[in-house]
């Protein structure tokens, strides 16, 4: 069943409240498609449809909905169904949901859960947001080093229904300290009588529960892991971060960086669901701030008013030159923000990156200067062509260096390098470009100095 069929079928099921029809969809459609179709309906209808699902399938579909929708649906579920949902969700997802519920909802749901589930939720929910602990799961497979390969496979078969993955099992000692890791493939291929302690890979890659969650993403990508084990301050294994959870973190961080580059604050919900008031509040601050920043461009134009009056043709090239500097700066900033975010570049690399950027920007500026010199010759003659070409060369170089350096400066100040990078760089490059352009024009054209 494709996504379009799911959308149409769900509309009919909501209208007729026919649970038998939903059972057909549950068997034939992917949970992600069901969740995508459900997202188009209000929370009351979403909870109605999910109430028709089996507990396990309900939790699976529920996990594909965004967190704001999950909270709204939870408000429409009775205590029994909410408890069933918690019991069938993965440990990390239910901890995230628990953190977003109201105090009354928490008080309602916790007594309906077993002691083990309550303690697991409290433990995972206690980790600060943005840390590895907040995205890890406690559903993982562990093995003792004294087990044989055959015994280990039997153990994995026993715990498989309650774990996120059995493709990687973690070997722990009696104190739950992580001592090794072994894959399911290695177990299957091993001599059935061989001991896990002899088969495992010792000293596996691990991460602390208190580390920034982006570090887990980097480790999984760097070492090509299915999951990375998480330890606490006592070196005891407390969870794992799986590959799919790392992808979710990467997506969330990318979304945040895109918004910051465009000087838009965190929305806290999907764009379609954000109110006009929320969108206004999240965008207005930087736009007003940058208005005052752009006053420097106006001041530069006013300062060179005599130059403009003497050669009106110069005004024709002003938007072209100023925008070119901003565009070059935005390109450099985008590359640098991403490199800093991924760890490809660190603060100490600034000097070497500055030299490389100077060469690249010089070549780009020369190419663009050559391209506009013909236009300058046509519009104003040889002298205007020279002014435009020189200005283009220097404006592109300066804009590129500003765009490359600003993320480093923000990082040095312990600020997010993505913060308002594009509009901030454009405003700085605009003001700088105006001054450079008219200063060169005044010099090359032999005009009297400004203010004389």
Q: Is residue 214 domain-shared with residue 307, that is, in the same domain?
A: no
Q: Is residue 301 domain-shared with residue 440, that is, in the same domain?
A: yes
What is the rounded distance in angstroms from the CA atom of residue 293 to the CA atom of residue 54?
A: 58
Residue 264 lies in a domain: no
The per-residue pLDDT for 182 is 96
Per-residue HEC secondary structure of the chain comes to CCHHHHHHHHHHHHHHCCHHHHHHHHHHCCHHHHHHHHCCCCHHHHHHHHHHCCHHHHHHHHHCCCHHHHHHHHCCCCHHHHHHHHHHCCHHHHHHHHHHCCHHHHHHHHHHCCHHHHHHHHHHHCCCCCEHHHCCECCCCEECCCCEHHHHHHHHHHHHHHCCCCCEEEEECCCCEEEEEEEHHHHHHCCCCCEHHHHCEECCCCEECCCEHHHHHHHHHHHCCCEEEEECCCCEEEEEEEHHHHHHHHHHHHHHHHHHHCCCCCCCCCCCCCCHHHHHHHHHHHHHHHHHHCHHHHHHHHHCHHHHHHCCCHHHHHHHHHHHHHHHHHHHHHHHHHHHHHCCCCHHHHHHHHHHHHHHHHHHHHHHHHHHHHHHHHHHCHHHHHHHHHHHHHHHHHHHHHHHHHHHHHHHCCCCCCCCHHHHHHHHHHHHHHHHHHHHHHHHCCCCCCCC
Residue 431 lies in a domain: yes
The closest alpha carbon to 125, from 94, 162, 83, belongs to 94
The per-residue pLDDT for 254 is 67
Cβ 85 vs Cβ 55: under 8 Å: yes
Q: Is residue 210 domain-shared with residue 350, that is, in the same domain?
A: no
The per-residue pLDDT for 150 is 96
**Hey, what are 287's tokens?**
């736009």
Q: Is residue 438 domain-shared with residue 327, that is, in the same domain?
A: yes
Residue 170 CA: distances (Å) to CA of 143, 162, 185, 205, 224 = 6, 15, 14, 11, 17
191 phi, psi to nearest 5 deg:
-60, 125
Q: Is residue 308 domain-shared with residue 432, that is, in the same domain?
A: yes
The per-residue pLDDT for 445 is 79
Of 126, 158, 183, which closes a domain? 126
Tell me the residue range of the domain where 368 lies. Answer: 294-444
The per-residue pLDDT for 34 is 92
4, burial (CB in 10 Å: exposed 0-12, middle 13-18, buried 19+): exposed
The per-residue pLDDT for 130 is 86
Of 221, 249, 277, which closes a domain? 249
**Hey, what are 16's tokens?**
């007729």
Q: Is residue 185 domain-shared with residue 150, that is, in the same domain?
A: yes
Cα 150 to chain centroid, rounded = 42
Q: Is residue 330 domain-shared with residue 393, that is, in the same domain?
A: yes
**Hey, what are 357's tokens?**
């950027």
pLDDT tens digit at each of 452 positions of the chain: 788 888 889 999 999 998 888 988 989 999 999 999 998 888 888 888 888 888 888 889 998 888 888 888 888 888 888 888 888 888 888 888 888 888 888 888 888 888 888 888 888 888 988 899 989 999 899 999 999 999 999 999 999 988 888 999 999 999 899 999 999 999 999 999 999 999 999 989 999 999 999 899 989 988 999 999 999 877 899 999 998 888 888 877 766 665 555 545 555 555 566 667 776 776 667 667 767 666 776 777 777 777 777 777 788 888 888 888 888 888 888 888 878 877 788 888 888 888 999 999 999 999 999 988 888 888 778 888 898 899 999 999 999 998 888 888 888 887 777 665 667 777 788 888 888 988 888 888 775 555 54
**Hey, what are 293's tokens?**
């920043």
Cβ 231 vs Cβ 172: under 8 Å: no
**Hey, what are 300's tokens?**
């530069």
The closest alpha carbon to 73, from 248, 37, 81, belongs to 81
The closest alpha carbon to 196, from 143, 142, 141, belongs to 143
**Hey, what are 263's tokens?**
């000087």
237 phi, psi to nearest 5 deg:
-70, 125
Q: Is residue 101 domain-shared with residue 148, that is, in the same domain?
A: no
* Model confidence, pTM: 0.64
Q: Is residue 204 domain-shared with residue 320, that is, in the same domain?
A: no
Beta strand 201-202 pairing with 178-183:
antiparallel
Residue 275 lies in a domain: no
Of 76, 91, 126, which closes a domain? 126
Cβ 68 vs Cβ 79: under 8 Å: no
Cβ 408 vs Cβ 350: under 8 Å: yes
Q: Is residue 121 domain-shared with residue 146, that is, in the same domain?
A: no
The per-residue pLDDT for 327 is 86
Q: Cβ atoms within 10 A of the Cβ of 172, count?
A: 18
**Hey, what are 224's tokens?**
């090509």
Residue 260 lies in a domain: no
Residue 419 CA: distances (Å) to CA of 2, 108, 376 = 40, 40, 37
The closest alpha carbon to 46, from 29, 63, 70, belongs to 70
Task: Read off the CATH number of the domain in which 191 is found.
Answer: 3.10.580.10
Q: Is residue 331 domain-shared with residue 424, that is, in the same domain?
A: yes
The per-residue pLDDT for 187 is 95
């Amino acid at each position: 069943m494709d996504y379009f069929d799911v959308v149409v079928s769900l509309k009919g099921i909501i209208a007729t409240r026919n649970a038998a029809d939903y059972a057909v969809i549950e068997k034939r459609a992917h949970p992600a498609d069901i969740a995508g179709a459900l997202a188009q309906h209000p929370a009351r209808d979403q909870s109605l449809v999910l109430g028709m699902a089996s507990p396990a399938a309900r939790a699976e579909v529920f996990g594909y909905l965004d967190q704001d929708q999950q909270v709204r649906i939870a408000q429409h579920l009775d205590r029994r169904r909410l408890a069933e949902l918690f019991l069938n969700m993965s440990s990390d997802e239910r901890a995230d949901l628990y953190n977003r519920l109201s105090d009354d909802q928490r008080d309602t749901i916790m007594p309906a859960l077993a002691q083990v589930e309550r303690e697991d939720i409290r433990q995972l929910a206690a980790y600060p947001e943005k840390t590895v602990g907040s995205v890890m799961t406690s559903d993982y497979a562990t093995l003792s080093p004294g087990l044989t390969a055959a015994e280990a496979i039997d153990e994995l078969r026993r715990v498989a229904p309650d774990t996120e993955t059995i493709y990687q099992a973690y070997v722990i000692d009696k104190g739950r300290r992580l001592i090794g890791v072994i894959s399911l493939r290695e177990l299957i291929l091993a001599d059935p009588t061989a001991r896990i302690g002899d088969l495992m890979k010792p000293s596996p890659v691990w991460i602390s529960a208190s580390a920034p969650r982006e570090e887990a993403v980097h480790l999984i990508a760097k070492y090509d892991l299915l999951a990375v084990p998480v330890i606490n301050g006592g070196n005891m294994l407390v969870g794992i971060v799986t590959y799919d959870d790392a992808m979710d973190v990467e997506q969330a961080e990318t979304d945040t960086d895109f918004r910051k580059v465009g000087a838009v604050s965190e929305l806290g919900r999907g764009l379609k669901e954000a109110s006009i008031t929320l969108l206004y509040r999240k965008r207005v601050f930087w736009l007003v701030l940058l208005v005052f920043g752009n006053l420097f461009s106006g001041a530069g134009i006013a300062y060179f008013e005599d130059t403009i009056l003497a050669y009106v043709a110069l005004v024709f090239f002003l938007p072209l030159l100023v925008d070119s500097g901003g565009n070059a700066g935005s390109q450099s900033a985008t590359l640098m923000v991403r490199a800093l975010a991924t760890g490809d570049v660190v603060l100490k690399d600034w000097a070497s990156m500055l030299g490389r950027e100077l060469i690249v920007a010089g070549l780009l500026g020369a190419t663009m200067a050559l391209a506009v010199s013909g236009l300058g010759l046509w519009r104003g003659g040889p002298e205007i062509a020279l002014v435009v070409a020189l200005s283009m060369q220097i404006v592109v170089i300066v804009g590129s260096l500003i765009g490359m350096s600003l993320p480093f400066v923000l990082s040095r100040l312990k600020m997010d390098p993505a913060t308002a990078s594009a509009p901030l760089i454009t405003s700085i490059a605009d003001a700088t470009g105006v001054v450079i352009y008219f200063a060169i024009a005044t010099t090359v054209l032999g005009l009297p100095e400004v203010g004389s």
